[in-house]
Amino acid sequence: MVSALALARQGVRVHLVEKGERLGGLGRRIRNSIEGGDVRAYVQELIKEVYGNLSILVYTETDLVEISGYVGNFLSTISVGKRLTVKKISHGATIVATGAEELKPKAYLFGKDQRVVTLLQLEEELDEHPDGFRDCGSLVMIQCVGSRDDERSYCSKVCCTQAIKAALTLKTISPGMEIYILYRDMRTYGFREDYYRKAADKGVIFIRYDLNDK
């Protein structure tokens, strides 16, 4: 959406193709940034701006069927909506924004024990039912579950910061809660290292583990 708006403001006609029912993707589920910014409000404002820009055509519930051509002269075929209306679009450039979704792991009793949740689910609970954590004596977060291994060799670059954010929120709700973060490498990029130090100062315990000895 940011790219679409930037191009539209320069007078470029933009076709924005969205696979889901609504724009915004995973950003609609993130409450706040670690710096305190309202992510959902930011995403909603972007959506409003996109729909309000006459140079942007939005297609939701749409799949890319075929693409051909070369730089400066592409032809894309899309299938739009539940009626599967086929439309061909001629365009000079393509921006691919694949999006992301949270991993639902098979490990650590996820899906079998209601106390085991993802970081996004934890964030939603903290936002909607913060009082439910006041009597929670301890909480453990496990980093790199299902990643940086043979199946998924990459780092998402967001999980460590999200864990720190959740830990600081929990410490605000219940300062005496014992919080443990099990990690392989803490990757709080740039100035977010300051939040890692802040969490440690508040008593969050960081324990490093090895991939071969989980």
Give per-residue pLDDT as tens, 94-127.
999 888 888 999 899 999 999 999 999 999 999 9
Give per-residue pLDDT as tens, 171-185: 999 999 999 999 999
Confidence of residue 75 (pLDDT cuts 50, 70, 90): very high
pLDDT at 84: 85
Give per-residue pLDDT as tens, 181-212: 999 999 998 899 999 999 999 999 999 999 88
In which residue are the tokens 């889901």 written? 20
pLDDT at 214: 82
The average pLDDT across 79-87 equals: 89
Q: How far lies 203's CA from each of 51, 192, 206, in Å?
A: 46, 18, 9
Cα–Cα distance between 68 and 70 in angstroms, integer? Answer: 7
In which residue are the tokens 């999980």 written? 159
Confidence of residue 83 (pLDDT cuts 50, 70, 90): confident
Give per-residue pLDDT as tens, 12-43: 999 999 999 999 998 999 999 999 999 999 99
pLDDT at 100: 83
The sign one gets for the Cα dihedral 199, 126, 145, 35 is negative
* pLDDT at position 149 over 90: no
Q: How far lies 27's CA from each of 21, 24, 30, 89, in Å?
A: 14, 6, 5, 27
Q: Cα-Cα-Cα-Cα dihedral of 79, 99, 139, 126, to 10°?
A: -70
Residues 6+ apart with CB under 8 A from 174: 133, 134, 135, 136
In which residue are the tokens 């490093």 written? 208
Report the mean per-residue pLDDT for the chain: 94
Classify burial at 58, counting beta carbons within 10 Å of its beta carbon; exposed 0-12, middle 13-18, buried 19 or more.
Answer: middle
pLDDT at 49: 98
pLDDT at 62: 95
pLDDT at 81: 86
Pairing of strands 178-183, 138-142: parallel
Cα–Cα distance between 75 and 68 in angstroms, integer? Answer: 5
